[in-house]
Copies of this chain bind each other. A is one copy, B any other.
């Protein structure tokens, strides 16, 4: 295993310390229980937004803490959901009297831990809403699975819900924005290589030099199919078709497009994939009204990418364009 780390068990804490030192103007880091919180939290009269999940997906979620997005993020161990006491402590820290929204990715562990935290927070008199994101079309959403996994849409929902909260809209409306983004968004990812979890020390799965995994999860969960390598044009076609046809997107739709890097894929390849995606959307009469290209929801050092498309309306476009000031997303301020 080749990583810039000390002891595997210290990776998360040391990474958090680095975040705190690099971004003292934006956030503070609390330890025991661990969470990152906006430097100016709690913001009086504003809905507090808390997200979190296993570590190893940086910049998600800590990189999205700041004005216009998250008030706090709860990092679990690598690829392991945080515990309820983290989420409870973060909820207390961001509760400004207008309630707290929990944004949860749909994995059993995340859902159960955030649910318990919500119960505890409510028991303390904090008004809590929870929204679960489940945009990964690689998983069939049915009685026979734990449901679709929450992936790329999570980042976009955090941005737009964050903007709604900055507008001082009430908890129910902020939660509604988050639900709307999730309902209008779909994603699918692929891997060229496996990630390597620090405490495991070896790749999670073996992928031959001439094969790739389509429909991969962000923890190296198995995808839909394994196949021979293809060109960027063919790979983008595969992912985009699954995403576009699932919602489905229609001629005339305006979309927010995220071409996300899994951590080990260089930026030039992501831009190359983006122009393929733009070509495909154009061919289907779907206009890419806004876009984001880069590593935003990663899987440690995995090479690969994921595509996310959200059908936008005027309200969502306004919320997307609204100012945001976090370490990973920043504009308008």
Contact = CB atoms under 8 A, between A and B. Distances in A.
Interface of A: 2-6, 11-12, 14-19, 21-22, 55-56, 58-59, 63, 192-193, 209, 212, 229, 231-233, 235, 263-275, 278, 288, 291, 293, 295, 298, 300-301, 303-305, 330-333
A22 B301 contact: no
A233 B11 CA distance: 12
Contact of A5 (B58, B232, B330, B333): B232
A58 B11 contact: no
A15 B272 contact: yes
A235 B6 CA distance: 10
Complex copy number for this chain? 2
A21 B278 contact: yes
Given A267-B59, A267-B63, A293-B18, A2 B192 contact: yes
B293 A6 contact: no
A6 B264 contact: no
A327 B3 CA distance: 28
A271 B22 contact: yes
Contacts of A301: 264-266, 303
Given A18-B293, A293-B22, A303-B2, A56 B231 contact: no
B274 A2 contact: no
Q: Which of A4, A19, A22, A264 has the most CB of B within 10 A?
A: A4
Nearest to A192: B2
A266 B300 contact: yes
Nearest to A329: B330
A264 B267 contact: no
Nearest to A264: B264
